[in-house]
Amino acid sequence: MKVQERTGAGNHRVPSPAQSAGERLPTVTRERKPALAALAVLLILVGALGATVLVLRAGNRVEVAKLTHDVEAGQAIKSTDVTSVMVADDDAINYIKWDELGTVEKSLRAKSALYHGSLLVGEMFTGEKGTPAGKAVVGLSLKDGQYPAGIKAGDTVTVYRAGDKNGSSSSSSSSGSQSGTAGSTGSSGSGVIVDRATVSSAASPDASTISSGNLAVSLLVDNADAAALSQAASAGEAVVVMVPSHNG
């Protein structure tokens, strides 16, 4: 009887703490992957390096020249035609640096028409002083009243035809059949011959020009305008008017 009671009592004993701990589920150990950790660190370093390079490049800026006015082909750049701006330095672009502008003004000319807002690069200019492609230089001997006072090389002008009213009818009848449009322009007594031309040279006034009132001027014009301008100049009908060097 006592043995059974002891046995039954043993069945209802509370397990000790040591026994409870031994019955816990085993924990799963995490598998470490050192290769992935190293790759993550490498990507972080590469990203940081790239950001550093971009910041340094953005901070490496240079002062270059930017056009504020249009410039005709064959014309030299003037200090009044440009302003300075800061841009990111790039060895692949041959910028005209601001401190190089003096050399460009003295010795280089535009290869073609340049426009307001353009950043100047070396490829836009040439040291050759010959006539640019598609252009012609026409010489005029202008009488007093056919040119503005103070005209000089680099000025932009418009050339009008101002025919002799007394001789316009005879000029038209004698040359109308040969000169076509030019003859009809001459008969009307006025008209634009060249909308925009650049003064290549203008003789300085001397004793001979002051006494005669004539001034020798050379204009850089498009090839298409050269014939009409030469005809008007030979007839003494060309009138030169100075206009702004840029539109607007």
Domain boundaries, the chain: 59-126, 135-243
Across the chain, mean pLDDT equals: 74
**44, 49, 110, 208 from 40: Cα distances, Å:** 6, 14, 54, 87
Residue 150: which region, alpha, beta or left (left: phi > 0; alpha: psi -120 to 50)?
left
What stretches in the chain show pLDDT beneath 70?
1-32, 53-59, 128-130, 163-190, 204-213, 246-248
**Which among 66, 241, 244, 49 has a CA at the least distance from the CA of 160?**
241
**pLDDT, position 45:** 86
CB proximity list for 181: less than 8 A, separation 6 or greater: 228
Q: Does domain 59-126 have CATH number 3.90.1210.10?
A: yes
Centre a 10 Å sphere on the Cβ of residue 81 and count the other Cβ atoms it contains: 22
Assessment of whether the complete model's pTM goes beyond 0.75: no
**pLDDT, position 114:** 84
**pLDDT, position 213:** 65
Tokens, residue 226: 């050269």
**pLDDT, position 123:** 86
- Print burial letters for 185-215: b (CB count within 10 Å at least 16), e (below 16): bbbeeebebbebbbbbebeeeeeebeeeebb
The H-assigned helical ranges of 60-180 are: 101-107, 168-179
Dist CA 79 CA 172 (whole Å)? 46
In the chain, where do the E strands start and end?
61-67, 82-88, 109-110, 125-126, 135-142, 156-162, 190-202, 215-222, 238-243
Which residue has 């816990």 as its token pair? 24
